[in-house]
Amino acid sequence: MIREYQRIICDLAKISQLTIDPKMAKPELAAAAVTDGLELFVPLRGLIDLDKERERLQKEIGNLEGLLAKLEVKLFNADFVSRAPAHILETEKSKQSDYTQRLSQLRKNLSQISN
């Protein structure tokens, strides 16, 4: 199906080339997405300033680490946990999970463009 619509995909994505190869390895310095058994790669070299992107990711990681540290202090405080309503605890635990997930993804993204 992708082959059938290759020209339309290229026009919409404003790209000159679309490679379709089920055995293709992920190119170096490429963003990746997986959906419905399909893995897509977008090479980033030459498209973005990698130094600026590394800086941006490091800054975002630092900010998120700070937020997570503050949140964990709160969640490890027995006094807070014993007095807070259940819905507040659930909200804070949900934030912790979200921050941890985002931090993991940011670190992964940084490692991918740092190689």
Looking at the structure, tell me whether residues 27 and 83 fall in a common domain: no
Q: Is residue 1 part of a domain?
A: no
- What is the overall mean pLDDT for the chain? 89
Q: What is the pLDDT of residues 79-111, one digit of tens each?
A: 999 999 999 999 999 999 999 999 998 998 888
User: Are 99 and 64 within 8 A, CB to CB?
Assistant: yes
Q: 60 is in which domain, residue-wise?
A: 50-114
Q: Which of 40, 39, 42 is nearest to 29 (CA)?
A: 42
What's 102's domain CATH number?
Answer: 1.10.287.380
Q: Please report the pLDDT score of residue 115 as a whole number.
A: 62
Burial of 65 (0-12, 13-18, 19+ CB in 10 A): middle
Q: Please report the pLDDT score of residue 48 as a whole number.
A: 81
Q: What is the pLDDT of residues 36-85, one digit of tens each?
A: 777 888 888 788 888 898 899 999 999 999 999 999 999 999 999 999 99
Q: For tokens 């014993």, what's the residue? A: 82
Which tokens sit at 53?
């992107």
Looking at the structure, tell me whether residues 106 and 60 fall in a common domain: yes
Q: Is residue 86 part of a domain?
A: yes
Structural domain count, the chain: 2
Q: Is residue 82 part of a domain?
A: yes
